Structure 1
Amino acid sequence: MKPCIIIPVYDHEHAIVQVIARIKNYRVPSILVNDGSSSACSAVLDACAKQEADWITLLNRTENGGKGAAVIDGFNMAIKLGYSHALQIDADGQHNTDDILRFVDAGQLHPDAMILGQPVFDESVPKNRLYGRKFTNLWIAINTWSLAIADGMCGFRLYPLTAVNQLISTTSIGQGMNYDIDIVVRLYWQGIEAINLPTAVHYPYDGVSHFKLWQDNVLISKTHARLFLGMLIRIPRLILRHWI
Structure 2
Amino acid sequence: MNPIPGEFDFKPCVIIPVFNHPHKITGLVKRLRDYSLPVILVDDGSEASCAQLLDKIATEQTQVTLLRLAQNAGKGTAVCQGLELASREGFTHALQVDADGQHDLDDVPQFLARAQQNPGAVISGWRSYEAMPPSRRSGRKLTDFWVCVNTCSRSIKDSMCGYRFYPLAPTMRLLARKKIGARMDFDTDILVRLYWQGLAVENIPTKILYQDDMPSHFDIIKDNVRISWMHTRLFFGMLPRIPALVQRNFLKRRPS
In the superposition, the TM-score normalised over structure 1's length comes to: 0.96
Matched ranges for 1:85-234 at <5 A: 85-120=93-128, 125-204=132-211, 206-234=213-241
Contact 1:94 1:205 in 2 (8 A): no
**Structure 1 vs Structure 2: percent identity of aligned residues?**
46
> How many angstroms apart in 2 are the aligned matches of 1:15 and 1:118?
22
Return the offset for 1:29.
Answer: 0.5
> How many angstroms apart in 2 are the aligned matches of 1:163 and 1:195?
16
Aligned to 2:60: 51
Contact 1:93 1:205 in 2 (8 A): no
- 1:39 alignment partner, one of 48, 56, 67: 48
> How many angstroms apart in 1 are the aligned matches of 2:130 and 2:33?
25
Q: Quote the RMSD (CA, aligned, Å).
A: 1.3
The AA in structure 2 aligned to 1:44 is L
Contact 2:42 2:67 in 1 (8 A): yes
The AA in structure 2 aligned to 1:7 is I
Return the offset for 1:168.
Answer: 0.1
Return the offset for 1:121.
Answer: 6.3
Return the offset for 1:128.
Answer: 2.0
> How many angstroms apart in 1 are the aligned matches of 2:211 and 2:40?
21
- 1:12 alignment partner, one of 14, 17, 21: 21
**Cα deviations by residue, 1:39-89 (Å, 9 ceiling, x for unpaired):** 01000000011010x211000000100000000000010000000000000
1:66 paired with 2:74, answer yes
Poorly superposed stretches of 4+, deviation over 6 Å: none
Aligned to 1:24: 33
> How many angstroms apart in 1 are the aligned matches of 2:128 and 2:150?
24
**Cα deviations by residue, 1:185-222 (Å, 9 ceiling, x for unpaired):** 00000000010000110123742111112221111011
Q: What runs of 5+ residues in structure 2 fail to find an aligned partner? A: 1-9, 252-256
Q: What runs of 5+ residues in structure 1 fail to find an aligned partner? A: none
> How many angstroms apart in 2 are the aligned matches of 1:16 and 1:214?
28
The AA in structure 1 aligned to 2:114 is A
Contact 1:143 1:227 in 2 (8 A): yes
Contact 2:33 2:39 in 1 (8 A): no
Secondary structure of the residue that 2:210 maps to in structure 1? Answer: coil
The AA in structure 1 aligned to 2:185 is N
Secondary structure of the residue that 2:222 maps to in structure 1? Answer: helix
The AA in structure 1 aligned to 2:77 is A
How many pairs were matched up? 242
> How many angstroms apart in 1 are the aligned matches of 2:188 and 2:173?
18
Secondary structure of the residue that 2:127 maps to in structure 1? Answer: strand
In the superposition, the TM-score normalised over structure 2's length comes to: 0.92
